[in-house]
């Protein structure tokens, strides 16, 4: 396993990977993750996105030392992984591939077992920390209920509580709102924002665009094991052209004008057209061309690029926009 000798590009990344690769099969011919270079800035809420099978969970397992890379290098919290697993993981909270608990034990008892398995945790403050973690995810009243009787959403909350048993510099969450109702989803989003405000870096794998847009500051998109883009949320949006929407009773004439200008037009209503607006065609030029051709314009608006559209462009697949 190689190491990363040079510092991260921004000098303060909590996760850095270089050429990270994981291959499966007897001949190791199938790459689940292929040459991944990733930089996760300290203090960010970093959205890690991609369709099913794109390599997100495999990447997370390698970051946490749960799977061995075939090639490449990983640095987490300034230390090379998996060599530094014993010193790094106590500073990392993680919820990966859904929580697994002893069903006949209470939620509190399960967390006590989790905490006792951490050699760095203090026994004298264990009970107080378990209760604080349960309260923070809204399970304080269900602390003494058996985990086997928990709903899927409650089990997901219990998994989050297990990741918050101690102070964490990095929180790694794989689909943290899975199974939660809308209110629970909002509460988890608020919790993620609060943790980030307190200085915790959050690495969030999700397929919910609403979740990403509302809580993330940075985004990376995976497709077929490869990284296709990475940057701030605004940088990702800026990679697509804005759109112009024209309302007119003269849709055929308007479409002809827009086509002549080189715009690809979609009809979005009986009196409405929509088109991507390239940089060389400002909205003022579009308006002037329509008026010059005698098109009666009832309204014209410019909207920012849709994050959903950008993801479809990058991955060739749609994403769930609910949540």
Q: Where are the alpha helices (DSSP H) in 263-303?
A: 283-292
Q: Which of 304, 308, 263 is nearest to 287 (CA)?
A: 263
3-state SS, 182-202, equals HHHHHHHHHHHHHHHHCCCEE
Flag whether 309 is in a domain.
no
**One pLDDT digit (tens) per residue for the chain, 323 residues:** 566 655 444 458 999 999 999 998 766 667 899 999 999 999 999 999 888 788 999 999 999 999 999 999 999 999 999 999 989 998 999 988 766 899 999 999 999 999 998 888 889 999 999 999 999 888 999 999 999 999 888 888 899 899 999 888 999 998 888 777 888 888 888 888 888 898 899 999 987 777 788 889 999 988 889 998 898 988 877 766 678 899 999 999 999 999 999 888 888 888 999 888 876 778 889 999 999 999 999 999 887 666 666 666 666 655 444 44
In Å, what is the CA distance from 231 to each residue of 38, 44, 61, 299? 10, 11, 22, 34
Flag whether 145 is in a domain.
yes
Q: Please enumerate in sequence order all residues whose Cβ is within 8 A of that of 122, keeping only pairs 6 or more positions apart, or say none.
A: none
Number of domains in the chain: 2
* Tokens, residue 80: 């090379």
User: Do both 210 and 225 map to the same domain?
Assistant: yes
Domain assignment of residue 252, given as a range: 241-304
Give SS3 for 299: strand
User: Do both 149 and 251 map to the same domain?
Assistant: no
User: Do both 180 and 266 map to the same domain?
Assistant: no
User: Do both 46 and 108 map to the same domain?
Assistant: yes
Radius of gyration of the chain (CA): 24
pTM of the complete model: 0.76
User: Do both 204 and 275 map to the same domain?
Assistant: no
Q: Which of 30, 129, 103, 106 is nearest to 70 (CA)?
A: 30
């Amino acid at each position: 396993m190689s190491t990363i000798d040079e510092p991260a590009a921004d000098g303060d990344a909590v996760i850095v990977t270089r050429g990270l690769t994981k291959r499966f099969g007897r001949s190791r011919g199938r790459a689940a993750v292929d040459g991944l270079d990733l930089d996760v800035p300290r203090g960010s809420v970093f959205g890690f996105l991609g369709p099913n099978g794109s390599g997100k969970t495999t990447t997370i397992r390698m970051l946490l030392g749960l799977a061995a890379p075939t090639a490449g290098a990983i640095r987490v919290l300034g230390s090379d992984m998996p060599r530094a697993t014993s010193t790094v993981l106590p500073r990392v909270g993680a919820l990966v591939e859904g929580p697994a608990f002893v069903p006949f034990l209470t939620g509190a008892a399960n967390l006590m077992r989790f905490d006792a398995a951490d050699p760095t945790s203090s026994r004298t403050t264990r009970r107080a920390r378990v209760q604080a973690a349960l309260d923070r995810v809204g399970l304080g009243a269900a602390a003494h209920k058996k985990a086997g009787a928990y709903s899927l959403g409650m089990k997901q909350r219990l998994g989050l509580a297990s990741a918050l048993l101690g102070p964490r510099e990095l929180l790694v969450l794989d689909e943290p709102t899975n199974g939660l109702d809308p209110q629970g989803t909002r509460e988890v989003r608020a919790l993620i924002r609060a943790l980030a405000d307190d200085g915790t870096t959050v690495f969030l794998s999700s397929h919910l665009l609403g979740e990403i847009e509302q809580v993330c500051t940075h985004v990376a998109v995976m497709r077929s094991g490869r990284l296709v883009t990475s940057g701030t949320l605004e940088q990702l949006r800026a990679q697509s052209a804005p759109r112009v929407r024209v309302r007119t009773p003269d849709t055929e004439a308007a479409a002809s004008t827009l086509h002549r200008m080189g715009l690809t037009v979609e009809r979005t209503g009986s009196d409405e057209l929509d088109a991507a607006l390239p940089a060389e065609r400002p909205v003022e030029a579009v308006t002037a061309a329509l008026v010059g051709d005698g098109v009666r314009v009832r309204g014209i608006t410019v909207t920012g690029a849709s994050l959903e559209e950008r993801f479809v462009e990058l991955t060739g697949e749609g994403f769930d926009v609910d949540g």
